[in-house]
Structure 1
Amino acid sequence: MSRPDQADLPGRTPAWRYAIGMFGTSIPINMIKGSMILYYVDILGLDVRAYGAVMVIYAIIDALDNPLLGHLSDRTRTRYGRRRPWLLVGAPMLAACMIAFFSAPASLEGVGLLVWFAVFAILCEAFDSMLNANYGALLPELYPRERDRAVANGLRQGFQLVALVISLALTPLLTTQVFGTEETTQGFQITAIIYGAVALAVIVFMALGARERPRYSTRERPRLLPSVWSIVSNRLFWTVGLTGSCYGGAMALVLAGIQLYVRYSLGLPVVNALYLQAVVILFSVAGLAVWTRVVARHGALRAWRLSFAVLAVSFAALFFATDLVTALAAGVLVGAGWSGMLATNDLIVARVLDADAARNGEHREGLFLSAFGFFGRLNGIVTGLALTSLGVFFGYNSGDDPGADPGLAFRVYLCAYPFVLAAIGAVAARIISVPAEPPPEAAQTAEPPAEPVEDPR
């Protein structure tokens, strides 16, 4: 029989079981982000300007509801913990909304199609936020030491990349070849049902095995407005959050546009996106082991800075690709830079959470990560405005009205815009300060240093 305090011991939850949850959370949202333009704009004919407007509105709504979801999680007190109940509720709701998102009735058009798209896009993102705020909050709680976090984070990012192979690289094959065609929508619905069932099973398995730390939830429940003010007045929240959003925005553009980049810029059938995505993801998986060793030797901050630079260079190489072979070569660089960001970005954020817990004496990972999610929600605005700009500058409005040069349009969308964002992030990462890694017990103390100490690594 286990001791009562065993659940509070570090490493009680096996890293692989926590990490596999990333597989389940990644499959639905990445199918949505990777196929929504192809499904709604290019196949169903939704006007790109209406799409862009919805993306801006939904990003604003999602940015507002994220802190509320995280705060509710921090205040939750049940015998099952703070995070697990939300994971068990959010998983089936996300699966159901994803299936509905890719099941738009054939009779819908115009305003009806726009409303269907807007409602289920917002619901999918809301339930995805619910899942990720709670799942992400478990990382610093379950693994207080940065070395342990690096291992758990490396494993979960590996599972995420496996999910991406399925939800991004394999999806074009399933939707346009196995279950449907490039001109029909049936394949999207069948694929969404399969992915939803898999995601639900994996998230439930992970949530039931997570062992939360009782002492994290026995203190006084944090209040919303004072907590929000404490976070938004924290300099680290803005500097780290905005810098990380450069990476997030760049990859959001890539994930949303890669299928149309293959179709228009490379002049190939959409199914060839499978090969480009597979190369990027497979080299990202291989790179995780390398970047985890770099973190162990040189620290998360130095590795984070280097990753930004590699990512920016990779987008420049992708811009000049002229066929599948040269695109695959550039994809190797994209995978190298992406894996570095996957291995390091969450570790930098976790340091900020540690510093906040030390400063305020409260563990508010749910609210803090949801507040950081505000910057991630800017991705919706970025992708919406970037896509709208293609109509302004290149005349691409939809699959029915692609303009004179859709190839250049999606070369700019997929390569030039991400390069600018990654380059800005690389410069910012070099000049901002990040808290040094604290010892695990530091997160339990209420008296922090007056200012965060710059990490020399």
Structure 2
Amino acid sequence: MPTWRYSIGMFGLAIPINTIRVSTLLFYVDILGLDVRAYGTVMAVYAVLDAVDNPVLGHLSDRTRTRWGRRRPWLVVGAVLLTAGLVGFFWAPSTLDGVALVAWFAFFAILCEAADSMYAANYNALLPELFRDEHRRAGANSLRQAFQLIGFAIALAATPALTTSVFGAEDSPSGFRTTALLYAGLALAALLFMALNVREDPARVAEGHDGFLTGARVILRNPHFWLVGLATACYLVPLAFVLAGVQLYVKYSLGLPVANSLWLIGSSIAIAAVALPVWTGLVRRRGAPFAWRLAFVFLAGGFVPFYLATSLASAIAGLGVVALGWSGLLATNDLIQARVVDDDIRRHGQHREGLFLSAFGFFSRLTGATAGIGLGSLGLLFGYYSGNDPGPDPGAAFRVAVGVYPFVIAVLGVILSLLIRVPAAGTEVPATASSEPGTPARSARQTARPRTVRAGRLAKGPAPRHDEVP
């Protein structure tokens, strides 16, 4: 499958879900009057549901056997549900209020996130599956992240202008409806264009697998799953706070029209895009773990000037440093997760990319719940409950929401990244990677010999070492 065609799937995936994330507070809370506490509750409840459906979808994908392969049927269904859910999400009748409004919001939020999980679980599983060595994998990941940044530019930067100026007004929902239809058509075309050209390895399609509970136990007992997963959350949760609160940060903290979010978000995306090939080059020279750790430092450091900003120019400068870290994590985080999957294959001799990467998806799904709880706390701390009841100082509320909360979580990510000993890349371990000083190196064949599956149980072979090989 051509790298560019695989990568364009990320463009279609980025548009719907990020449009929802960046506009939910403005559309439902500030315009339609949904209580921010209801918003936080829905996002927290969804995190529990998503913790179950994400790995289940990945496991079902790994075990799917059709003439079209394992991944393609799920990709097609997920694409249709996701784009249909995007339209429904922003076509909430203006007459809805109270419980009815909460119910509409909850139904379409959950539908969109579930469809996003369905598509993303299968799409992400294809990265280590189609691109076996880290050099090719880094190139494919860099290209798909570039397409994602284009999707971000549309979903995040263009949306405020389209919804409040081009197709609608500052306090009207009409612009969101037209924008949703436009985005749904664009995203569906990209998602299906990628999905209908997937060509999987026939040997992997025919491969046998342990049951869901056996596979889940193996993953849950893997310390790298927990450590890398928590680090992933520490990268995504700060961004979720920014995406959810940036438009109201511009409105209340900077005292500017919401449409100015275009310049703030657009400049950050441009910085991330320009820096992406630099980070990819650093990965190829110094290895993914080094670049990953450095990116966390930039991410955390940028929230300090962003919190202190008092003008659009200073906010752009602060968020620009955050964008440098974001770009580095786009270039590296999926490679770190792929190394953990490679290590699982070396240990157990099974390709369960769908289940493993979907299990990692549990940590990424913590973003919505954590951001929801954090934003819900603005009522308790600052008296901001909705656009109809903003409290005495909404500017301070959203400065904390997009500056303080993300900084604390990103600092935790820096600490975790420094403590984690990242596994080697690839399903074959180099002989030098298994040697301690003064110990003769074992051959790659000896080191990488997988365990064999017998009658549903794992027969233990020599366990490979996990020395970090950048």
TM bucket normalised to smaller: over 0.9
Judged with a 3 Å threshold, the aligned counterparts in structure 2 of structure 1 residues 144 and 440 are, in CA distance, closer, same or farther, namely farther
Which of 104, 109, 114 aligns to 2:97? It is 109
Task: Work out whether 1:137 is the aligned partner of 2:141.
Answer: no
Give the CA deviation at 1:381.
Answer: 1.7
Whole-angstrom CA distance in 2 between matches of 1:139 and 1:42 = 39
Does the C-alpha gap of structure 1 residues 452 and 60 become closer, same or farther in structure 2, counting only changes over 3 Å?
A: farther
Distance 1:121 1:216, change over 3 A: same
Match of 1:118 in 2: 106
> Out of 446, 450, 454, which is 2:450 matched to?
446
- Give the CA deviation at 1:222: 3.2
In structure 2, the residue matched to 1:7 is: none
Q: Name the structure 1 match of 2:324.
A: 336
Which of 351, 368, 371 is residue 339 of structure 2 equivalent to? 351
Measured in 2, the distance between the counterparts of 1:174 and 1:454 equals 50
Deviation per residue, 1:112-155 (Å, 9 max, x gap): 00000001100100000000000000000000010101000000
Contact 1:30 1:164 in 2 (8 A): yes
Amino acid at match of 2:381: F
Which moved further from structure 2: 331-340 or 144-153?
331-340
Q: How does 1:261-280 map to 2 (within 5 A)?
A: 261-280=249-268
1:166, 1:241 → 2: CA distance? 28
Report the alpha carbon displacement of residue 111 of structure 1 after superposing the two structures with TM: 0.4
Please, what is the CA RMSD of the aligned residues?
1.5
Post-superposition offset of 1:440: 5.8
Number of matched pairs: 445
Q: CA deviation at 1:452?
A: 4.5
Verify the 8 A CA contact 2:346 2:464 in the aligned structure 1: no
The 1:429/1:108 distance shift into structure 2, 3 A limit, reads: same
The aligned counterpart of 2:384 is 396
C-alpha distance in 2 between matches for 1:188 and 1:165 = 17
Q: Secondary structure at the match of 1:135?
A: helix
Is the 1:60–1:377 Cα contact (8 Å) retained in structure 2?
no
Give the equivalent residue in structure 2 for 1:4.
none
What pairs up with 1:5-404 in 2 under 5 angstroms?
13-404=1-392
* Equivalent-residue separation in structure 1 for 2:170 and 2:60 (angstroms): 42
Give yes or no for contact 2:46–2:110 (8 Å, CA) kept in 1.
Answer: yes
Distance 1:108 1:222 in 2: 48
CA contact (8 A) 2:346 2:428 kept: no
Displacement, 1:89?
1.0
Other-structure match for 1:9: none
Offset, 1:221: 3.3
The one of 410, 416, 434 aligned to 2:422: 434
Aligned residues of 2:343 and 2:427 also touching (Cα < 8 A): no
Paired with 1:202 and 1:222, the residues of 2 have a C-alpha distance of: 34
| Conservation of the 8 A alpha-carbon contact between 2:16 and 2:82 | yes
In 2, the alpha carbon distance for the partners of 1:449 and 1:174 equals: 59
- Report the residue type matching 2:244 in the other structure: A
Once the two structures are TM-superposed, the CA of residue 436 in structure 1 deviates from its matched residue by: 1.5
Compute the displacement of 1:445 (Å): 5.2
Residue segments in structure 1 that go unaligned for 5+ positions in a row: 1-12
Could you tell me which amino acid in structure 2 is paired with residue 446 of structure 1? P
Write out per-residue CA displacement over residues 67-92 of structure 1, whole angstroms, 9 at most, x where no aligned residue: 11111100001121111111111101
- Conserved? CA contact 2:163–2:169, under 8 Å: yes
26-35 or 446-455: bigger deviation: 446-455
Larger Rg: 2
Q: CA deviation at 1:210?
A: 2.1
Q: Secondary structure at the match of 1:180?
A: coil
- One-letter code aligned to 1:450: A
Q: Relative to 1, partners in 2 of residues 1:54 and 1:322: Cα closer, same or farther, differing over 3 Å?
A: same
CA contact (8 A) 1:315 1:419 kept: yes
Residues 288 and 340, structure 1, Cα contact 8 Å, conserved in 2: yes
Question: So what's the TM-score if we normalise by structure 1?
Answer: 0.95
Point out where structure 2 has 5 or more consecutive residues left out of the alignment. Answer: 430-443, 452-460
Q: 1:86–1:130: 8 Å Cα contact kept in structure 2?
A: yes
Which residue of structure 1 lines up, in the alignment, with residue 454 of structure 2? none
Query: Does the residue aligned with 2:196 lie in a helix, a strand or coil?
Result: helix
Question: 1 CA distance for matches of 2:42 and 2:24?
Answer: 12
Distance 1:333 1:76 in 2: 43
**C-alpha displacement at 1:34, in angstroms?**
0.6
* AA partner of residue 454 (structure 1): D
Cα distance in 2 for residues equivalent to 1:32 and 1:136: 21
TM-score, length of structure 2 as denominator length: 0.92
User: Contact 1:27/1:199 (CA < 8 Å) preserved in 2?
Assistant: yes
**Could you report, residue by residue, the CA deviation over 1:203-253 in whole angstroms, capped at 9, with x for unpaired residues?**
111112222111112111331111111111111110110111100111111
Cα gap change, 1:452 to 1:309, in 2 (>3 Å): farther
Q: Given that residues 374 and 401 in structure 2 are in contact (C-alpha distance below 8 angstroms), is that contact kept between their aligned partners in structure 1?
A: yes
1:423 partnered with 2:436: no
Q: Secondary structure, in 3 states, of the residue corresponding to 1:45? A: coil
| Structure 1: distance between partners of 2:469 and 2:221 | 25
Query: What is the aligned-residue identity percentage?
Result: 56
SS at match of 1:20: helix
The separation in 2 between residues aligned to 1:16 and 1:317, in whole angstroms, is 36
CA distance in 2: counterparts of 1:430 and 1:95, whole angstroms: 39
Verify the 8 A CA contact 1:434 1:452 in the aligned structure 2: no
Deviation of the 1:451 alpha carbon: 5.5
Residue 455 (1) aligns with residue 455 (2): no
- 1:456 deviates by 5.2
Question: SS of the residue aligned with 2:468?
Answer: coil
Give CA deviations for 1:84-114 in whole Å, capped at 9, x if unaligned: 1111111011111110010001111000000
